[in-house]
Every structure is written in C-alpha cells, then in structure tokens.
Chains A and B, each alone.
Chain A
Amino acid sequence: MPIGTALEGQESPAGAPPVLRGRRRWGEEAIRLVLFACALLSMATTLAIVVSLLEPTLSFFGEVDLVEFLSGTIWSPLFAEPRFGVLPLVTATVLVTGIALSVSIPLGLLTAVFLSEYSPRRLRAVLKPGLELLAGVPTVVYGFFALTFVTPLLQHLWLFGDPPGVFNAASAGIVMGIMIVPTVASLSEDAMGAVPQALRDGAYALGSSRLQVSTKVVVPAALSGIVAAIVLGVSRAVGETMIVLIAAGGTPKLSFDPADAMQTMTAFIAAAGIGDQPTGSIGYKTIFAVGSALFAATFVVNLVSIRLVRRFREVYE
C-alpha cells in the first residue's frame, strides 16, 4: 500500500491546533519530483522510440511507394537497382515464428502442467532453476548452437525433400522455440498456480482423475494467463535477432520451405546496421521503415498480452 493512501486527506485538518498542522517540507517535495522524473523516463523512452522511427520512416515513404513496400515480393534495398517489397521478410518472420511456436507451445505447456500439478516439491526445486538457466542463455549462444549442432543434425535426419543447407529456417525456428520454452512455461505455471485449490478439490471429490483435473479444470481456468504467455512468446519470437541472423542466412527469399535460407525483419535490420549505412541514405532509412513495422507488430501483440494478464488477475485475486 502506498503511504499516500494512509495520509492523503488527513493533511492539515481544518480545526487542528497549529502544532499538528502539517508543515510543507520542500525537501520531501523535491525528492518526490526527482522520483517522478525517473518514472517519467520510461515514457520518454517510448516517445523517443516512436520519434526516432517516425521521421526516417516518413522520409522513406516519400521515396518508396507504400503499396510497393507492402505488396512487392522482392527485397533488395541495398542493391544498385533497389526493390522494396517487404513481403519476403514478413513471410520469413512468420514462418520462423510458427516453427518456434510449434516447439515451444507443447513443450512449455506440458512443462507448466507438470510443474504446477504433478511435480513433487523436491523435483520442482531443481527444475525451476534449470528453466531459469535455459532462459539466461544469451541468444548469440543459441545462434551458435543452431548453426553448429542443430543444422548438422537436421541435415542427417531430414525426411522429406532436399536436406537443408548451412543456413535454414527450420534450425533457427527450432532453437528459438527452445529459447521461448521458459517464457511460456513459467508464465503459464503462474497462471495455473493462481487457480484456487477449491476448484481442484471439487473436481477430485466428484471422482476426477489427475489428468482430468489438470486438463479440464486447471487449464481452462487459467486459460487467459496461458494465452498471455503464448502471446508474449510470439512477441519474443518476432523480435528475436541473433538466432536468425546467425542460423537462417542473409538472403531475403519468399518461401515457405523450412529447409530454405531466408532473412527475417530483425535479421535485415541487424545486417543493414552492420553495414554502417550513411545517415540519410536510402539504406539508412530502410532500417527505420522495417523497424517501424516490427515495433508496430510487437506493440499490438504486447498490448493484447498485458490486457489478458490483467483479466486473469481480476478473476482470482
């Protein structure tokens, strides 16, 4: 509880003797202002992000047709004859995110159900830090793992069509999925932990098995929290850079074959950034145009997630 709520409304009551009437303390006021300024810095950050994206983006669309940008199928902005169709970057992002989710949703949810409903306390005490360890691995390390371990493994085990090359979407997507498992698992477990014990007890009293209680009572009751966890996972997958930059290759390609090399939106931004584009050049502006698209996409996804978390909190607290 903030101290304010205890004090507000009691300051200098009208009929109180002068001794008890609050004296205005300027030092206290100054401290409050400094603290408020620090909190405001977060708003300034968001504003700065929007401003820094907006100006070069607008200037980009002064040179490039918005329709060509959104519907063109060839992306080669840094070539002598540049083409600005962003679709190959978008489809690559969607494909890699899809692969990542098809790994992280089942693994993450099963892990969460196990931790929340099945695991003995001792085992849990080992597994939770293990998950945190997985979450703490830097993404550049995951990228190395994808390139030097998962890709050769896939090349051996590939069942259908041509085996993937050195750079491919499948390897990046799978490793990204593993990276997101802790996010999905720990947030979903929090949601399941917030389900009142009475609901479980009631189901057990009616003769349900553990599986039935888990899948038909706990998971539905925690659903909005679980969806929020998955949505946050989507946002992390869309925004992840290093894994795709290292393992998925650097050539934009409009393809839905996971064995192909392709370039996501984030990987393009990083690759163009490495190239050190001169300020004001069209190459410099494309960074911001693609960055705007990325920021807008994750912004919407994040707001959905925050909304959902708030809804599930309202139910059980």
Chain B
Amino acid sequence: MSSGALEGLRRRRSLATAAKERAFSGAMLGSLLVAAVALVALLVQVVVAGSPRLNGDLLQRFPSSVPTRAGARSAIFGTIWVIGTVAATCIPVGVAAAVYLEEYAAKERWYNRLIEVNIQNLAAVPSIVYGILGLAFLVRGPLGLGQTVLAGALTLSLLVLPIVIIASREAIRAVPSSIRLASLALGATRWQTIRRQVLPAAVPGIATGTILALSRAIGEAAPLLLLGALTFITFVPEGLRSPFTVLPIQIFNWISRPQDEFRVLAAAAIVVLLVILLAMNALAIWLRNRYQRRW
C-alpha cells in the first residue's frame, strides 16, 4: 500500500473518531441540560403558580374550606414541632450507634456485620413501609400513641436514622487514628478519648449529615399519610400528644382538591417548603466549608 493511501485511511479514521467524540459530548451536555431545565422549570412553575398567594396570610391563617381564607399556619407549626422532636430523638441515637460501630465494634464479629448490612438495607426501605410500621406499632398496636406529633416524629426518626448513622460514621472515620492513640497514650480511657477528642473533631461532618437527614424528614409525606395526618387541623400543636399536620401533607391535601384556587395555595406552600429546605442545605454546605478540617 502506498504511503498516501495509508495517510488517507488514518485521516478518515481520526475524522470518524472526532465525529463520535463530538456526538458523545453532545449527548452528555444534552442530558445535563435536561436535568437543569427540569430543575429550573420546576422552580419557575411553582413560584409563578403560587405568587398570588405568597403573602403573610399564608403564614398566619389556618386551613379552611374556603380557598381565599385558607393558610398554612397549623402546617408550618406542625412541621416545626415534628422536626424538633425528630432531631431530639434521632441525633443522639444515631451518633451513639455510629460511635459504637466505628470505635467499639470488632469487624469480624457476625452480629456487627449484620448490624452494618441491616443499616444499609434500612436506608433503602421505601418510606411508606415506615408508615406501615408507624401505623401498626406506634399509632394503634402496642404503644397506642394515636395520631399525634410524637407518633409522626418517631416514625420519621426511624426513617432518617440510617442516614444519620451513615453520615456520622463517615465523619468519625475521617478523624485520624493518631489522635486516638495519642490520647490513649496520655492515659485517657476509651470513652474519654471519644468524648474529648474524636467527637469534637467529627462534629462538623456529623452536623452536615444530620441537617441533610432532617431536610429529608421535612419533605416526607407518604409515611405520615398512613398515620392519618391528613386531617383538618385548625390549631397549632400544643404538645407531643397533640394531633398535627405538616407542610407536605397540607400541600398534598390542597393538590388533591379540584378547585384551581387550592392549586395556587399548594404552589405557594411549596415555595415556603423549598425556602426552608434551601436554607437548611445552605447551612449544611456552609458548615462543611467553614469547619471541616483536612488531616
């Protein structure tokens, strides 16, 4: 074969490669674009649809069968009550479990491995199954708490517990063992080492993961539907034993009504929910950037 023909062949091949390369780049950018457009469309749609009702009334009025008089006050306070209770229950338990798994558990023991796989599995159990658990165990069954703030919060707490544990474990694992060994060498006990050295160093990571877990709990509606939180609540919860509703449930309630005015209310309440979530996410990112140490 002459050198000219070989050169031509080579050029044609590189042209074909370049064309494929370009098509692939196009496909990648296209898929990024689809995701970005979906996100922007979602946000714009919600803000535009909800704008007529985005005012103080939404925050101050209680739900009503007359759309123009309805607001989300009980849902907003319900969300605050529920999430406060979720935080108070799932953070201590989740961090304690993470400390056990990282600092105490011997990896070769079968029960520790079982706990580990079990947590991974629980993280992927559908949220509605937790609702069934809450219905059978907390609302009716053995504990019989009824359709209360406490029952809802405990259900959500179990739901996000695996997320808190997994995030806390990663934060604890990132603390270098030299710090533990130094503390032990100075005569500290195991628990003193964990309390005074490991946990303080892991707090930023734990806080970030916990905030993300709580923001998951804030947006969750399905399990609470099963607990019977879809009721007409026109008062602010007074305690853990009080009936309640939360923002996602109120939003679902308004979406499922036929009148267009309720759709507008739903969109406005979604904006409130998204602003709360955005603020929490921003806080998590800020914490991560401000306090995270590289060892």
B28 proximal to A (CB < 8 A): yes
Binds A, one of B56-64, B111-119, B234-242: B111-119
CA distance A142 to B150 in the complex (A): 27
A70 proximal to B (CB < 8 A): no
Give the residues in chain A near B34, CB-CB below 8 Å. 107, 178
**Closest approach, in angstroms, between the C-beta of B136 and any C-beta of chain A?**
4
**B35-51 to A contact mask, C-beta < 8 Å, 1/0:** 11011011001100100
Instruction: Assess whether B215 is in contact with A46, with CB atoms less than 8 Å apart.
Output: no
Give the residues in chain A near B88, CB-CB below 8 Å. none
Instruction: Assess whether A118 is in contact with B248, with CB atoms less than 8 Å apart.
Output: no
Q: Give the tally of cross-chain contacts (CB within 8 A).
A: 276
B287 proximal to A (CB < 8 A): no
CA distance A149 to B43 in the complex (A): 11
**Closest approach, in angstroms, between the C-beta of A209 and any C-beta of chain B?**
5
CA distance A303 to B117 in the complex (A): 8
Minimum CB distance partner of B193 in chain A: A3
B221 proximal to A (CB < 8 A): yes
Instruction: Assess whether B161 is in contact with A41, with CB atoms less than 8 Å apart.
Output: yes
B204 proximal to A (CB < 8 A): no
With A2-B102, A38-B96 as known contacts, state yes or no: A140 contacts B251, CB within 8 Å: yes
Query: Which one, A2, A214, A239, contacts B126 given CB within 8 A?
Result: A239
Query: Which one, B36, B114, B128, contacts A294 given CB within 8 A?
Result: B128
Please classify the interface of chain B as helix (H, G, I), strand (E, B), loop, or mixed, using the class held by over half of its residues.
Answer: helix
Give the interface size class of chain A. 35 or more
Give the residues in chain A near B104, CB-CB below 8 Å. 2-4, 32, 35-36
Give the residues in chain B near A7, CB-CB below 8 Å. 184, 190
Query: Which one, B27, B118, B133, B281, contacts A43 given CB within 8 A?
Result: B118
Q: Which 5 A-B pairs have the closest CB atoms?
A: A239-B126, A138-B219, A273-B226, A52-B136, A38-B96
> Contact residues of B with A, CB < 8 Å?
17, 20-21, 24-25, 27-32, 34-36, 38-39, 41-42, 45-46, 49, 92-94, 96-97, 99-107, 114-115, 117-122, 124-133, 135-137, 140-141, 158, 161-162, 165, 177, 180-181, 184, 189-191, 193-194, 212, 215-216, 218-222, 225-228, 230, 248, 251-252, 255-256, 263, 266-267, 270, 273-274, 277, 281, 285
